[in-house]
A = this chain, B = another copy of it.
Amino acid sequence: MYGDEWPLRVTGIASAAESEWRIGQQTPERTCEGWLLVYVKSGMVEELCDTHRVLLRAGQILFHQPAELFAMRAVGEVPPEVFRVEFTADGSAMDSFRSCHMRLGNAEKSCLRQLAETVREVFQPVQDACQMPTRRAEIPFGGKELQTIYLAQLLYLLARRRQRTRKQSPRARAEQEQAALVEACACTLRRTLKSRWRWT
């Protein structure tokens, strides 16, 4: 395991924090060193991704890729709670996270909750939401490793879902084509019946 053949490997977690932001509060524009995961637990934030801006709502996750210019601004009506993780990773499957933002499913949310719990064991709480925290002096057994395991798990679940939505299996494609054919037949039949009804 953990061999070079893995399509996706988390190689480190530089820092991670879950914090509440004041509305209007924002981070300075900065270039990503590694990857940055941003998950909005509640409320709404606006993310700068190089040149464009993305509005991120509760339950949505976004990834900033290495060397991307990024910033975050708390918007909306309620102070948003945001979970952020700065990490490094390699493997070809990381490509699916470039310019990626999506809504989390239940399994992914549960995995992210476990990740957030372990992050609290590893990193000190922050006073200012803009700052990223430093590591605790004493970390319980396996805290660092479990944190990496949960993040890897989340990335695999998300990459798997993105692969499923992008590349369809031949069977799914065939089923979709058949459904389209049936729908076209039904449409013709309806039209025929309708015109007959009118003219007979």
* Other-chain residue from B11, B141, B149 in contact with A159 (beta carbon distance below 8 A): B141
User: How many monomers of this protein are in the complex?
Assistant: 2
- By the criterion CB–CB under 8 Å, are B156 and A145 in contact? yes
- By the criterion CB–CB under 8 Å, are B11 and A145 in contact? no
* Other-chain residue from B10, B150, B153 in contact with A146 (beta carbon distance below 8 A): B153
- By the criterion CB–CB under 8 Å, are B8 and A145 in contact? yes
- The number of chain A residues with a CB under 8 A from chain B is 25
- By the criterion CB–CB under 8 Å, are B12 and A1 in contact? yes
> Which residue on chain B has the smallest CB distance to residue A152?
B149
> Which residue on chain B has the smallest CB distance to residue A111?
B114
In the complex, given contacts A1-B12, A7-B141, A145-B152, what are 12 additional A-B residue pairs having Cβ atoms less than 8 angstroms apart?
A: A1-B9, A1-B11, A1-B145, A1-B148, A2-B2, A2-B148, A8-B142, A93-B141, A142-B157, A149-B153, A149-B156, A153-B153
**A176 interface residue per 8 A CB criterion:** no
A-side residues, CB < 8 A to B, are 1-2, 6-12, 93, 140-142, 145-146, 148-150, 152-153, 156-157, 159-160, 163
| A11 / chain B contacts, CB cutoff of 8 Å | 1-2
CB-defined A-B contacts under 8 Å, sample of 30: A1-B2, A1-B9, A1-B10, A1-B11, A1-B12, A1-B145, A1-B148, A2-B2, A2-B9, A2-B11, A2-B148, A6-B145, A7-B141, A7-B142, A7-B145, A8-B142, A8-B145, A93-B141, A93-B142, A140-B160, A141-B159, A141-B163, A142-B156, A142-B159, A142-B160, A145-B152, A146-B153, A149-B149, A149-B153, A150-B153
